[in-house]
Structure 1
Amino acid sequence: MTGQHRPRRDGYDPRTGRDPRRGTEDAPAMYRHEPVGLHTRLSLNRMGTFDWDLDSGRMILDSGALAVFDLRADEYDGRPQSLSARVPADEGRRMDSTLAQALQDGSSSYGVYFRVRCRGGALRWTHTQGRILHDGSGLPYRIIGIVREATGELADSALLRSRQQERQRQTVMVQHATAALARALSVEDVTRVLADTEGAQRFGADALLLGLVTEGRFEVITTAGLAGEVPEGMTHSWVDDTLPLSHVVRSRRPTFLSTRGELIARYPRLRRYAEMLPAGSSAFLPLVAQDTVIGSLGLFNAEPSVQSAEARNLALALAGVVAQSLQRATLFDQEREFATQLQATMLPRGVPSITGGELIVRYHPASVGRDIGGDWYDVIPLPQGQTGLVVGDVQGHDTHAAAVMGQLRIALRAYASEGHTPETVLVRASRFLAELETERFATCTYIQADLESGALHVARAGHLGPLISDSSRHIDWPEIPGGLPLGLATVFGHDHFPETQLFLEPGSTLLLCTDGLVEQPGQDISAGIDALSEAVRTGPAELETLADQLSDQLWAEPGSEDDMALLLLHRLPGPGPATTPRLRLHIHQADPAGTAQVRSALRRTLDQWRAGAVTHDVEVAATELIVNALTHTESGALVCVELLPGTPRRIRLEVEDRSSQWPRRRSPGETATSGRGLMLVEALADRWGAEPRGSGKALWCEFDVPDAGDGAEKGHAADAPGAPGAPHAPGPEPGR
C-alpha cells in the first residue's frame, strides 16, 4: 500500500485515526484481494494441523505444522518417531505421558506445551492440542489436531506473572513495614525497627539513612547496611543542598539516582565517603507529616538501575508510612516526658543521711508504653532519731495514678512525722485515700527503723514484705501479717494493719521494693522473688553497686513494662557493744492462723541466730504459752524472743497477755486432755517464770544455746520437774 490509506465508509477500519508503522513482510507475496485458503491462514499465524491414524501409525503434517517443527518436507517420513530430531527426549516423554493419560481416561481431547529444538539449536515453546476420535465400541482410532508456536504467548504470560509477583512483593513489603512501625511507640522504637537486620529489606533496599530536622539543623538518627560507621560530616549539617538528605528536606521533592557515580556527581561533598556507599541506585525521600517536612529517608541499592514509576511510587508510599510513624512517636515522647517529669516532682528529691546506716534508693519509670506508674518510695525523719521507710504502689499506670500517688505520699509522710505507730499511720492513710475522689487503691509497706537498737516496726497493706540479708548473706523474707490495700481496707471496714517487730543486726541489709522488680508478664511472682533472693545473696557488698545490679539484672534486662521502686538500708556495725537481737509478734485472739505464723517466724529467726538443737524446744514452749494466753484470757498475745549475750548465749521467750489472773497449778490425770502446758515448758526450758506487766502479765522462759562446736544435746529428759540439779528458776505454781 502506497500513500495514505483512506478509511472505509461502510465499516470499521482499525487504521482509522492512526498512523501504522511500516514493517517488512516475510510472508510469500500475494495480491491484495487474493483468496487465502485455510492452511495458508494457519501458516501465516505460525500454526499447522496434523492427522494421526492410530491404526496405521501414520501422521500427516501440513506445511504449517512442518514449519512449526522447523522441518522440510523431505525430512519427515510420516512416522511420529521422525519428529525426535526436533523434540528433545524429555519433552517427548512428557508429551507421551499426557496423551497416554488422556487415552486411559477416555478423554476426547488433550493439550500440552513442549519445546522444539530448531535447526540452529535454539529451543522454542510449542503447543499442541488434539481431538481424539472413538469408534462405535469406544476405542480411539484417530487424532486430529493442531500445533502452534507458543513462545510469545508464554513470554507474555511470564511477564504477567512477573508483574503480578512484583505487585505481590510490593504489597507484602508495605504490609511488613506498616506492621513493624505500627508497634513502634517512641522515636527510639522507630529507629530500632529501621536499624534491625531486616530494616532496609522492608523498603526493598540494601542500606538506608534516616534523619530528622531539629531547629534548622539536619541530623541522621539511624543507619542500616552501610559499610562502617557513618562519619559526622554525613550525619550533621545545615538544611542546604550540599547533601542529598538535607536537599530533599529543603526542596520537599524526592530525588532518584541510578548509580553511585551519578550521586557523587550531583553531590560532590560525598566524594570522600564514596567507599562506604553502595554502588547502585539510590532514592532520597522527604518525610512530610501534616504538610511539615520533619526529616528525610535515604535508600541505597547495591545494583545500578533506573527505577520504574511503580518503584518510585512504592518508595514514596513507604516514606509516608515512616513520616506518620515518626510524627506519632514524637508526640508520644513529648507526652511521656511530661508525665515522667510530673511523677518525678512527686518523688523525694533526695534522701536524708542516717546515723548508723547507709541508705540507697532507685526508681525507674515504665520502660514500655506511654503509661507511668504510681510506684513511690519515701524516707522520713522521725522523732527520737528514728527513720520511716515507705515503699508503695498506687493502682493504675497513668497520670491519675501519679497524681494520687503524690497526694498519698504527702499524707502518709505527715502522719508518720507526727510519731504515730506504723499501724496508725497506715489506718489514717487508708482513710485519707478512701475520702479522695478516686476509685484507686494502693499497696504499701511502712517501717519505723531504729538503727541504734536495730528494731524494725513493720506494717504492710497488701504489699510485698521486706527482705533481710544478714552479714553472712543469709536471706530471709519474714512473714509479716498484713491488711488490705489502702483505701479498700477502709471501704470494707477492715482498716487493721498488724504491726510486726523485727531486728536488723549490725552488718545486715534490709530491702523494700515494688512488684516491678520481681514480676514479669506470664511468670509467677514467686520465680521473681527467688531470683531477687539469689541476686542479693550473690551480689556485691557495696550498696550502690548492688542497687544498680538489681535494677539492671531484674528490671532493665528482662525489659519490664512496669515501673519500679527499690530501697536498700544497711545497718553499719557499731563501735560499741552489740545490741540484743529481738523478734516481737502480736497475735489476735480471733486469728486462728496466728500461732502457726509465729512458729514459722520463730524457725526462721532461730535459724539466723544459729540456735541449733534448742530451736524445737523454743517452738514447742512458745506454742504452749500462746495457746494458754489465747484460751484462758480475753486478749491476744504479744510474743517476744530475744538472743541474750553471754556464755553460753541464752534465748529468752516471753508471752504477754492483758489478764491479771496469775497461773494456778493443775495436776491433770492420765486421761486429761489439757493442763500440761506449763509442765512441758518447765521440762524443756532451762529457766522459766512469770512477771507482772502493767495491766497484765508475761510468762517467760530461757534456753541456753550450746556453742557451735559442742555436739552434745541437751538432756531435758533428765531434767524432769523436781529432778535433782534441774537448772530451773523458781516459778509460780503451775496453773493453766
Structure 2
Amino acid sequence: MSVDPPPGLPLPDPPDQSDQSDPASAAEPEWPAGPDLTLAYNRMGSFDIDLAREHMHLDPAALDVFDLRPDEYDGHMAVANRVPAEELERLDTLIRRALENGKEIYGAYFRIRCRDGSRRWLHTQGRLVRDAEGDPYRVIGVVRDATRELDDAALRTELAETRRRLTGMVRRVTALLARATTVDDVTAALKDTEALSNLGAVSVMLGVVENGRVHTVTEGRLGLYVPELQYTRIDARFPMSEVVRTLRPRYITSREEFRRCFPPLWEHIEQLPVASGAYLPLIVQGRTIGALGLLYSRHGGFTGEERNLLVTLSSSIAQSLQRAMLFEQEHDLAESLQRAMLPHRIPEVAGARIAVRYRAARAGRDIGGDWYDVIPLPGGRVGLMIGDVQGHDTDAAAVMGQLRIVLWAYVSEGHSPATAMTRASTFLHELATERFATCTYVEVDLSTGALQIVRAGHLEPMVRRVDGTCVALDTEGGLPLGISNGAERRGGAAYPVTRAVLDPGETLLIYTDGLVERPGATLDEGLDRLAAAVRDGPRDTQELADSLGDLVGEHGGGDDMALLLMRREPAPRPR
C-alpha cells in the first residue's frame, strides 16, 4: 500500500546516526527530565513508520531496546533481523487487522533475538495516522522492554497456581481427616491420589512413635517398603527420627543432601526418582506422636508459603492421628468390657443347635447395651433372651449387666415368662435411671416345640421353615422395660404371652435392631433384607450366624448388633 502524505506534513527523515548517544548513560540527568530521557530511563523508545516507503525510524532509546547500535540499523522494517520471522508476521497481521477494522490504536507483545542469542520480550503500542480520505499512511508509537514485566507476571501466576494447588490440597486432606476415626482412615486420607497430586509429592510416609521407636504405618505411591525401616529407633540417623527428636521440620533440597546426611536411608532411595523431601513432626500438646514424610522428584528448596502450608497440614494430621489413636484405644477397651459382660460361653442344650454373635458399633467409641443369654431350664426347656439398653456409654453397659443378671435370676427361679419380664421392668424402673430397654424372651419346650414369647418393645422374632422360607412371628408386645403402665401394681399382666410351635428342623431367630437398621433405609427394607439373607443363607446354624453378621458389614449404623439363633433338632429315632 502506497499513499502520499498530505501537504504540509513532511515524511520523516532517515535516522541521523551521528548523534545517538544513550541518554540513560548521562552522569547527571537534566532537570526536569525531557521526554527522551524519561523514555530512555524506563527502557522505552519511540518509533515512526512511513507505510508508503516501508521505512521505520527508531530513536536512540528504541535502538537500545532492540539491542542495536546506531550503525547496525538502516531503517528496515525487519529491524536488522532482531525480530524473528514468525513474530514479524504476527505483528504485520495485527497492524493489517487494525487497518481493516478502522482502529486507531493497537498493541502487542512480541519477542526479539538479542545480540548474544538470548530472547527478550518487548511491548509495542502504535497509533495509526490517516489522511483526509481516512487512509492510513503513518504509524507513530512506542516500544519498551517487557521482559521483567512478563517474568514477574509469570512468577505471580505460578505463585498463585501453587498457592491455589496447595490450599486446595490442605482443604481436601483436612476434609478427609475430619471424617477419620481410625489410624487407617488417616493413612487413607494421606494416600488420596488427588491430594498427593495437588501437593506435588510422589510419595508420603506416616510414622507413629511407639516405645521409643518410629513405626512407619504407611508408605506412599512409590512402594518404598523396606522391612528394616518399618521400625527405626528415635536416636537413629533417619529424617523421621530426627524431627521426632528435635520437634523441628527438616527440609532436604537435593539428592546429595540425602546421601550426605542420611546414609542409611540413601541406599534405599538412591534408585528412586526422589530429589528432595520434607519431614515434619506431628506434635500434640507439646508431645511428638509421630512424623510425616513427603518425597518430591523436583530439586531445590521450599518457599516460605510451602513451608507454612506443610506445617499447617502436619498440625491437622497430628490432631486427627491423636484423635484416631484415642478412639481406637477407647473402642478396644469398650468392646473388651462389653464382651466381658456378655456370657462367657453358651451352654449346650440337648435337642437344639444354638449360635450367637455380637458386633460392636464402629461409628461410636463408647460401650453399647446389647446383650443375649441362653438359660437351660428343667423339663427339656430352654430360655432365650436378647435385649438392647438405650444409649452407648458406660451407664448403658452397667444397666445392661444388671438387667441381664436380674432377668436370668427370675427365669431360673421358675417364674413364668410374663412374670419374669414384668419384674425385670419393675427392677429397671426402680433403678431411678433414665434408661429404658427393649427385650424379647422366648421359652422353648424342645420336646414339643412349644414357644412362649414375651416381647417388650422389641423386634418380632423370625423363623426359617424347613423348606427355607423365612417369616416373622406375629407376636403381641408390651412397653419397653423400665416404662411402667401401672398394670403390675394392679395385679394385671404387663406383658402378654404369644404361643407358637417350632417344628423340628426349623430355626428361630431373635436379634437387635443393629442387624437391620441402615442409614437412609426404612426398617421394613431392613427386615426384608434380613429375611432374604436368612432364606438364602447356609443351613448350618453357625455358618448362618456368620453370614448374617457379615450382613452388617461396613454399612451398619452407629449401633451394636446382637444375634441369637436356635435350630430345633429332630428327635432321635428309637432302635
TM-score (norm 2): 0.82
In structure 2, the residue matched to 1:566 is 563
> Counterparts of 1:139 and 1:491 in 2: how far apart (Å)?
108
Change (3 A) 1:268 1:29: closer
Whether the aligned pair in 2 keeps the contact of 1:440 and 1:487 (CA below 8 Å) is yes
Which residue number corresponds to residue 179 of structure 2? 183
2:42 is the alignment partner of 1:45: yes
Change (3 A) 1:29 1:401: closer
CA distance in 2, matches of 1:162, 1:245: 30
2:367 is aligned with 1:372: yes
In the alignment of these two chains, the number of paired residues is 543
Q: Which amino acid aligns with 2:376?
A: P
In structure 2, the residue matched to 1:419 is 414
Query: Which one of 169, 176, 200 corresponds to residue 173 of structure 1?
Result: 169
Matched position secondary structure for 2:485:
helix
Equivalent residue in structure 2 for 1:126, among 122, 125, 143: 122
Structure 2 partner of 1:575: 572
Q: State yes or no: 1:440 paired with 2:435.
A: yes
Pair 1:113 & 2:108 matched: yes
Task: For 1:244-393, list aligned pairs within 5 A.
Answer: 244-270=239-265, 273-274=268-269, 278-393=273-388
Q: Deviations over 1:211-249 (max 9, x none)?
A: 222222332222222325431x11123322233322332
1:520 and 2:491 are equivalent in the alignment = no
SS of match in other structure, 2:499: strand
Instruction: Please report how far the alpha carbon of residue 356 of structure 1 lies from its aligned counterpart in structure 2 after TM superposition.
Output: 0.8
Q: 1:33 to 1:461 in 2, by over 3 A?
A: closer
Which residue pairs with 1:5 in the alignment? none
Per the alignment, residue 532 of structure 1 pairs with 530
Contact 2:507 2:568 in 1 (8 A): yes
Letter in 1 for 2:501: F
3-state SS in 1 of match to 2:242? helix
* Equivalent pair of 1:111/1:127 in contact (CA under 8 Å): no
Deviations 1:103-122 (A, max 9, x none): 57xxxx85633214447786
Q: Per the alignment, in what secondary structure is the counterpart of residue 442 of structure 2? A: strand
Root mean square deviation, CA, Å: 3.8
Cα deviations by residue, 1:601-623 (Å, 9 ceiling, x for unpaired): xxxxxxxxxxxxxxxxxxxxxxx
Aligned-partner Cα distance in 2 for 1:537–1:87 = 78
AA matched with 1:47:
M
Distance in structure 1 (CA, Å) of the matches to 2:407 and 2:198 = 53
Q: Indicate conservation of the 8 Å contact 1:444/1:462, yes or no.
A: yes
**Hey, what does 1:504 align to over in structure 2?**
502
AA matched with 1:483: G
**More divergent stretch after superposition (124-133 vs 338-347):** 124-133
Contact 1:358 1:571 (8 Å CA) reproduced: yes
**Higher RCO structure, 1 or 2 (CA under 8 Å, sep 6+):** 2
1:196 Cα shift? 4.5
Question: Structure 1 residue 300: deviation in Å?
Answer: 1.4
Matches within 5 A, 1:655-670: none
DSSP-derived class of the 2:306 partner = helix
Q: How far has the Cα of 1:520 moved from its partner?
A: 0.7
Please report how far the alpha carbon of residue 521 of structure 1 lies from its aligned counterpart in structure 2 after TM superposition: 0.3
The structure-2 alpha-carbon separation of the partners of 1:84 and 1:491, relative to structure 1 and needing over 3 Å to count, comes to farther
Q: In the superposition, relative to structure 1, how do residues 169 and 362 fare at CA in structure 2: closer, same or farther (>3 Å)? A: same
Once residues 402 and 140 of structure 2 are traced to their aligned partners in structure 1, the CA distance between those partners, rounded to angstroms, is 96
Letter of the 2:568 partner, please give it. Answer: R
Shift in Å, 1:61? 5.4
Aligned-partner residue type, residue 572 of structure 1: E
Aligned partners of 1:373 and 1:486: how far apart in 2?
Answer: 17
In 2, Cα distance between equivalents of 1:429 and 1:468: 26
Per-residue CA shift, 1:563-587, capped at 9, x if unaligned? 100111111221147xxxxxxxxxx
- 1:625-640 matches, within 5 Å, as none
Equivalent residues of 1:243, 1:270 under 8 A apart: yes
1:16-43 CA-to-partner distances (Å, cap 9, x unmatched) read: xxxxxxxxxx947966347575335424
Distance in structure 2 (CA, Å) of the matches to 1:185 and 1:302: 32
Distance (Å, rounded) in 1 between the aligned partners of 2:161 and 2:546: 53
* 2:565 partner amino acid: L
* Larger radius of gyration between Structure 1 and Structure 2: 1
Counterpart code for 1:445: T
List aligned pairs for 1:99-110, cutoff 5 A.
110=105
Query: Is the Cα–Cα contact under 8 Å of residues 489 and 495 in structure 1 kept in the other structure?
Result: no
- 1:85 Cα deviation after fit: 6.0
2:188 is matched with which residue? 192
Deviation at 1:53, TM superposition (A): 9.0
SS of residue matched to 2:219: strand
1:190 CA displacement:
1.9
Q: Does 1:465 align with 2:460?
A: yes
Q: CA deviation at 1:447?
A: 0.4
Q: Kindly indicate whether the alpha-carbon contact (under 8 Å) linking 1:378 and 1:389 is maintained by their aligned counterparts in 2.
A: yes
Rounded to whole Å, the distance in 2 between the matches of 1:110 and 1:347 is: 89
Equivalent position amino acid for 1:365 in 2: A
Separation in structure 1 between the aligned mates of residue 530 and residue 252 of structure 2, nearest angstrom: 56
Tell me how far apart the structure 2 counterparts of residues 77 and 264 of structure 1 sit (CA, whole Å): 56
Identity of aligned residues (%): 47
Q: Hey, what's the Cα distance between the residues in 1 that align with 2:453 and 2:92?
A: 92
Structure-2 change in CA distance of 1:155 and 1:523 (3 Å) = same
| Amino acid in the other structure paired with 1:571 | R
Offset of residue 357 of structure 1: 0.9
Matches within 5 A, 1:134-149: 145-149=141-145
> Residues 89 and 562 from structure 1, CA distance in 2 versus in 1: closer, same or farther, beyond 3 angstroms?
farther
- Residue 536 of structure 1 aligns to which amino acid in structure 2? V
SS of structure 2 residue aligned to 1:384: coil
CA distance in 2, matches of 1:270, 1:296: 16
Partner Cα separation in structure 2 for residue 236 and residue 30 of structure 1: 67
Length-normalised TM-score, structure 1: 0.65
Once the 2 structures are TM-superposed, how far is the Cα of residue 277 of structure 1 from its aligned partner?
Answer: 5.1
**Distance apart, 1:291 and its partner CA:** 1.6
Deviation at 1:59, TM superposition (A): 7.7
* CA distance in structure 2 between the partners assigned to 1:176 and 1:210 by the alignment: 18
- Which stretch of the first structure deviates more once superposed, 447-456 or 121-130? 121-130
The alignment partner of 1:75 has SS state of coil
**What amino acid maps onto 1:574 in structure 2?**
A
The one-letter amino acid of 1:317's match is T
SS of structure 2 residue aligned to 1:74: coil
User: Which sections of structure 2, spanning at least 5 residues, go unmatched?
Assistant: 1-20
Q: Distance in 2 between matches of 1:455 and 1:183?
A: 49
* Equivalent pair of 1:336/1:370 in contact (CA under 8 Å): yes
Structure 1 alignment gaps of length 5 or more: 1-25, 578-736
Question: Contact conserved, 2:84 with 2:113, CA < 8 A, in 1?
Answer: no
Letter in structure 1 aligned against 2:534? V
Q: Structure 1's 61 and 537: CA in aligned 2 closer, same or farther, altered over 3 A? A: same
Q: Which residue of 2 aligns with 1:594?
A: none
Contact 2:441 2:454 in 1 (8 A): yes
Local SS of the residue matching 2:243: helix
Alignment of 1:685-700 (within 5 A): none
SS at match of 2:383: strand
* 1:163 corresponds to 2:151: no
Cα contact 2:166–2:198 (8 A) shared by 1: no
Q: Contact 2:22–2:40 (CA<8 Å) still a contact in 1?
A: no
Q: What is the aligned partner in structure 1 of residue 75 from structure 2?
A: 75
